[in-house]
Chain A
Amino acid sequence: MSISRRSFLKTTATAMAGSAAIPIINNRFFKLRGADMQNYFEREFGISEALCQKALQVALSRGGDFADLYFEHTISNYVILEDGKVNRAYSEVSLGVGIRTVKGDQVGYGFTQELEKESILAAASTSATIANASNNNPNKEIIKLKLENYYPLKRLLTEIPLESKLPLVQGVNDKCFSLSPLVKKVNAGFADEQKRIMIVTSDGVLVEDLLPRSYLYVTVLAEKNGRRERSGWNIGGRRDFSFYTGNIINEISQKAVDRVLVLFEAVQPPAGEIPVVLGPGVTGILLHEAVGHGLEADFNRKKISTYSDMIGKKVAEPEVTIIDDGTNPELLGSINVDDEGTPGQKTILVDKGILSSYMHDKISARFYKVKPTGNGRRESYQHYVQPRMRNTYMLGGSASPEEVIKSVEKGIYVEDVSNGQVKIGEGDFAFYVSQGKMIENGKLTAPIKDINIMGNGPKMLANITMVGNDLQMYQGGGGACGKGGQSVPVGFGLPTVLVKSMTVGGVK
């Protein structure tokens, strides 16, 4: 396999570090599409339009409303530092095509790792078995779809030599040790992935994309008076390699060391129902769990979501507007096109407190007789499409962050969240607070850590009584969301927000 050496159009990639504010309305229309982007699968693997047409014909040979082909070639690399040296590296090549036939809400799916005609047609006839009628035909003409580019690269990630990555990881290690004598162990790494896809649909659309993803991470272990604590930080997204500068190394290291040292001062928060202030940024996981999943249209089409009768209804105070967006530059959940050929876009889920839209793939859009919202995503060619989130965030409100904190007499302030989960039907959700602070008499006091917070989605939404003016988007590169056995990268963001009451799982 040869990798072309042509570069992309040069652009002014905004290298925003940490949890920096991102302009939400952003029309960066890059007139891209050099020779590098186009016809990749034809050039490298000999996949012709005629073969695609033939495969779609077989996929629809027993009827079926529509069919699509999803070609993927992904190369990922991962270098790891342990005990002071970058002494292990892993890489993976993944290549294949998945073929889907859809009949109503029924899906037949076959895939193959061999891009030979016979294998592709065999996978197509597997997918065809979902239908049981006379044959349907794909559109005779195929139109190539042109896309905006929300993650332009100056150089392909596959062109970045290993030698260039090593100093980043080594640099983080050395910086962390230099920041505190309490630091005893550092684990650091750099991961990058370059995913090329081509989607061909039976309604006559062909679209190609190149999705980069990378991140630099560190975990730091510190010891103080015989006690050990560990914390870490990562920064990344759909970034060009030039994003990773000395400043990023310093920022990641400083943040990780600060975060581990504060844990030695942590106290246990009280257990039970108390007010919770969510700091800006990564706390957007709360929206992802409490609201986002419940608004994925498949759960509503099947009536199993607690939100399935609530379109057009008031679900929150007027200050609350929640958006799911594939178009934020270089964020982890951004997509130029979804995995069934719908261009990347922005969807308002809750508009000034009113539930306005679900997140749709083609199947649910047909069911609800609306346009797909570009949320049809899949983990890889081995998986079929599901409605999934992209970057989910709440718009900023009117209060300053200080005002939000000041309004709470006794409660907790959440700074960092490591994971979450939701029960779609009940709306009950949980998320794990790895760092935060107590709020006492309107002031941030002792640090807290390692507590689970529970709530109920609709109740929590209604309980958001103050929204700060400081929206931040999560700038990490390691976030992934799991659903139905599939993992996809997503992003999130939140301004400082007050939730009147949630259940905090302390031990006191």
Chain B
Amino acid sequence: MNNKLLELAEWTIKTAKNAGADDCRVTINGERFVEISYRERKPENIKEASTKSLYIEIFKNGKYSGQTTSDLRKEALSNFISNAVRMTDLLAKDPYRSLPDKKYYGSIENIDLELYDEKIKSINPEDRHKLVQTIEDACLSVGGSKVISVEAGTYDSSFEMVMMTSNGFSGYQNGTVLYAYAGMTARDEGDRRPNGYDYALVMKKSELPNPIDIGRNAGKRTLDLFGGKKISSQKLPIIIENRVVPRILNGFISAMYGRSIQQKQSFLVDKKNQRIGSEKFTLIDDPFIKGSQGSKLFDNDGFASKKRIMIENGILKEYYIDWYYSRKMNCEPTTGSPSNIIIPKGNRSIEEIMRDLGKGILITDFIGGNSNSTTGDFSVGIIGKLFEKGELTQSISEMNIAGNYLEFCQKLIEVGNDPFIYSSQKTPSLVFNDVMISGV
């Protein structure tokens, strides 16, 4: 626990109240990070710095504003806070805006989420360069003469955060992150230069995979893109690879937010406790996974974290509703935003599933695209491989899938056994049948 940050938070609350605020919430973040990248076996970029910021939300006479600054000198901060309080006074009253009722803070679980690792904080420059060199070498050796360019790098950071309110909430979290990656561009036939990458993001150093594998996978994933072309438009089963599932899922999740529901900008309005996907579609929000990026003991309102089943066997069970929108909608709050997203894994590997399906498309990346959270329509470019008789045959590019989430999620026929672990969205590969693929 960092007493300096706590003291600053207390001082800020006191100063804001003296300046005329009825209530306030203060969040202070601090981070120290180092970022390095290599190309052609020498450092290309080295960057290192510390950052800090203070965010204060002011509640005054039913009015509300939020202000951020990086200038934490007390004199500057004092002026900043008085200005913020004065500005808040000019806004319209909002009867729903307040700090949460204290009873919702609950009691924060007394468990160690294992988000902080001294071994990441104490990485020295030599270890860091060695790690990146190992990744770069492994990537270069896979690419061989096909390589045009390889970039490898790491980002490591240690951070801490304090949140405090004038009605008695106080929370602290610290953590460390280590991110390691490689990307390769290689020379394909004609003028195409495919680029592929691999990465791992961990909060404990011991969970970093063998750096050689990161480099090799980046190389392999690049070579897998060779010969990409369009095939004819048709309906086929698709498998969305675990790591890219969030690109599709996030459009769905954005429609689950309290704001989307209250502002009617969601295709999930009035869909609670109704079927919104196939039996296979279950989605769990789990803030307590040890060493995972999305884990937390309290949320942005200060509510004690809770594990929640958001979607159960295709039935929508919960929305993400924070304190403010719960008041606007006159319902109970849950939590304002996702922690770790879990889709429970299935029994089979994607190889087994491909053998069973015969012909289809394995999607390994998306390009462009977007979704309309109001209607649920989406359309997105796909990159991946055609498989026939269970074997990967042709790389595909310049193709697209489109649909409406409510129909698309009904087409989910199987979940792979391979959740992607280097993200807060631990999604396995997902299998959908009868999807229109557009190409030639």
Given A108-B46, A452-B402, the answer on whether A304 and B370 have CB atoms closer than 8 Å is no
Measured between beta carbons, the chain A residues less than 8 angstroms from B88 are 89
B395–chain A nearest beta-carbon distance, Å: 10
Cβ of B344 under 8 Å from chain A: no
Cβ of A96 under 8 Å from chain B: yes
Cβ of A150 under 8 Å from chain B: no
Cβ of A375 under 8 Å from chain B: no
CB-contacts of B113-172 with A (<8 A): 148-149
The stretch of B5-13, B63-71, B349-357, B422-430 that contacts the partner chain: B63-71
Measured between beta carbons, the chain A residues less than 8 angstroms from B65 are 88-91
Which of A110, A228, A272 is close to B264, meaning CB atoms less than 8 Å apart? A228
Q: Mark B388-406, 1 if CB is under 8 A from A, else 0.
A: 0000000001111111000
Q: Is the CB of B84 within 8 A of A91?
A: yes
Cβ of A456 under 8 Å from chain B: yes
Cβ of B330 under 8 Å from chain A: no
By the criterion of a CB under 8 Å from any partner CB, how many residues of chain B are at the interface?
A: 75
A194–chain B nearest beta-carbon distance, Å: 15
Cβ of A152 under 8 Å from chain B: no
Cβ of B79 under 8 Å from chain A: yes
Cβ of A144 under 8 Å from chain B: no
Cβ of A402 under 8 Å from chain B: no
Given A93-B80, A454-B368, the answer on whether A304 and B149 have CB atoms closer than 8 Å is yes
Measured between beta carbons, the chain B residues less than 8 angstroms from A105 are 44
The stretch of A238-246, A319-327, A414-422, A491-499 that contacts the partner chain: A414-422
Cβ of A464 under 8 Å from chain B: no
Q: Mark B39-65, 1 if CB is under 8 A from A, else 0.
A: 100111111111110000000000111
Given A92-B67, A273-B440, A506-B438, the answer on whether A163 and B90 have CB atoms closer than 8 Å is yes
CB-contacts of A85-105 with B (<8 A): 85-96, 105
Cβ of B2 under 8 Å from chain A: no
Nearest A residue to B38 by beta-carbon distance?
A: A106
The stretch of A133-141, A206-214, A427-435 that contacts the partner chain: A427-435
CA distance A384 to B36 in the complex (A): 13
Which of B45, B70, B149 is close to A113, meaning CB atoms less than 8 Å apart? B70
Given A87-B91, A130-B43, the answer on whether A429 and B367 have CB atoms closer than 8 Å is yes
CA distance A107 to B380 in the complex (A): 36
Cβ of A70 under 8 Å from chain B: no
Q: Is the CB of A425 within 8 A of B185?
A: yes
Cβ of A254 under 8 Å from chain B: no
Q: Is the CB of A306 within 8 A of B192?
A: yes
Measured between beta carbons, the chain A residues less than 8 angstroms from B379 are 432, 450-452, 505-506
Measured between beta carbons, the chain B residues less than 8 angstroms from A419 are 368, 370
Q: Is the CB of A304 within 8 A of B193?
A: yes
SS class of chain A's interface: helix, strand, loop or mixed? strand
Cβ of A379 under 8 Å from chain B: no
By the criterion of a CB under 8 Å from any partner CB, how many residues of chain A are at the interface?
A: 83
B305–chain A nearest beta-carbon distance, Å: 26
CA distance A429 to B79 in the complex (A): 48
Q: Is the CB of A94 within 8 A of B185?
A: no
CA distance A296 to B195 in the complex (A): 16
Given A88-B65, A452-B370, the answer on whether A272 and B92 have CB atoms closer than 8 Å is no
Given A429-B367, A451-B402, the answer on whether A228 and B375 have CB atoms closer than 8 Å is yes
A8–chain B nearest beta-carbon distance, Å: 23
CA distance A129 to B27 in the complex (A): 34
Given A107-B46, A123-B49, A421-B368, the answer on whether A230 and B265 have CB atoms closer than 8 Å is yes
Nearest B residue to A101 by beta-carbon distance?
A: B46
Q: Mark A322-362, 1 if CB is under 8 A from B, else 0.
A: 00000000000000000000000000000000000000000
Measured between beta carbons, the chain B residues less than 8 angstroms from A267 are none
The contact sample of 28 A-B pairs, CB cut-off 8 A, is A1-B76, A85-B92, A85-B93, A106-B43, A108-B45, A123-B49, A130-B43, A166-B90, A221-B374, A223-B264, A230-B372, A271-B436, A272-B438, A305-B193, A422-B367, A425-B194, A426-B193, A428-B367, A430-B380, A430-B400, A449-B377, A452-B368, A452-B380, A454-B399, A455-B398, A503-B400, A504-B400, A505-B400
Instruction: Give 15 A-B pairs besides A93-B71, A113-B52 with Cβ atoms closer than 8 angstroms.
Output: A88-B64, A90-B68, A95-B71, A106-B45, A109-B46, A112-B49, A123-B49, A273-B230, A303-B149, A425-B192, A426-B397, A430-B367, A450-B371, A505-B402, A508-B436
Leading 6 A-B pairs by shortest Cβ distance: A430-B368, A505-B400, A425-B193, A271-B438, A87-B94, A430-B381
